[in-house]
Structure 1
Amino acid sequence: MTNWPDDDVILYDGVCIFCSRWVRFVIARDAARRFRFTPVQSDYGTRLAKAFGIDPSDPDTNAVVHGGVAKLKSDAALTVLSLLPGWGWTRALFAVPKPLRDAVYSLIARNRYKIFGKYETCFVPDADMRARVME
């Protein structure tokens, strides 16, 4: 995996309603304010996506940089969840074979706009959330 200088940064699709809810979910549980966020549609997010082989115009995954390394698809989601207070039990889900985890992840990712909808532009975070967004 590619290294990145910023750590604990979550890359997400800013027009995806499901992805934006994921960001809000993490923020609500991240009492230590460990994670920062960047929409793939921002300049910083586009650079990050390209560095990890994600097409910024059609992102098929979120990503998290943790320990300087990018985690993609189910690894990204489980890494983030496992680092949130009270969610450490999700580490056990790494025992599920990665091809199976990623197949489920990809099925949801491919259909996320049909299932959950899409914003016309990136959602606008509130002031507290905005302080944690990297653009």
Structure 2
Amino acid sequence: MSTTAQPTILFDGVCNLCNGFVQFVIRHDAAGRFRFAALQSAAGQALLVAHGQQDVAATAADPDSVVLVEGGRVYTHSTAVLRIIGHLGALGRMAQVGWLLPRAWRDALYRYVARHRYQWFGQQESCLLPTPALRARFL
């Protein structure tokens, strides 16, 4: 199976909030549906460029969004998060409420948190290193 056949979550590899989100998805994705890559990684950059997202790839040094690559499409900001959570069983059903808000409102809240994430949650010096058991799920 190609590495892009499964939905792939691209995340800020040095952000503690983003790493926590990835750990949350791993814990609740029993089927192992998602793959992961840091936005700053060569694999993450290549995936964005392959999907015509050079503008997103160019901001990888200071990313402001979780990115979901799924079914040949690229989703960012609140839409990416809601789509990801939507695949996580009961959590996904609860997340349906988020779709009721206008995208502009959802994304404004998302960007507010993204702007303050390092201040509130901190950051690491380097990207998350997966455990040997999870290594196959990371690009």
What pairs up with 1:25-44 in 2 under 5 angstroms? 25-44=24-43
Unaligned 5+ residue runs, structure 2? Answer: none
* Contact preservation (8 Å) 1:12, 1:38: yes
Helix, strand or coil for the counterpart of 2:65? coil
State the Cα distance separating 1:47 from its structure 2 match. 2.4
Q: CA RMSD in A?
A: 1.3
Aligned position for 1:110:
115
TM-score, normalization by structure 2? 0.87
1:69-109 per-residue CA deviation (whole Å, 9 max, x = no partner) reads 11100000000001112112212311110000000000011
Find the residue that maps to 2:105 and give its secondary structure.
Answer: helix
Shift of 1:17: 0.6
Runs of at least 4 residues of structure 1 off by over 6 A?
A: none
Instruction: Provide TM-score, normalisation by structure 1.
Output: 0.90
Structure 1: gaps spanning 5 or more residues: none
2 CA distance for matches of 1:123 and 1:7? 20
- Counterparts of 1:1-135 in structure 2 under 5 Å? 6-50=5-49, 51-52=52-53, 53-54=55-56, 55-89=59-93, 90-134=95-139
8 A contact 2:5–2:71 mirrored in 1: no
**Kept after mapping to 2: 8 A contact 1:6/1:65:** no
Secondary structure of the residue aligned to 1:18 is helix
Alignment: residue pair count: 130
Q: Secondary structure at the match of 2:134?
A: helix
For residue 49 of structure 1, report the CA deviation from its aligned partner: 4.0
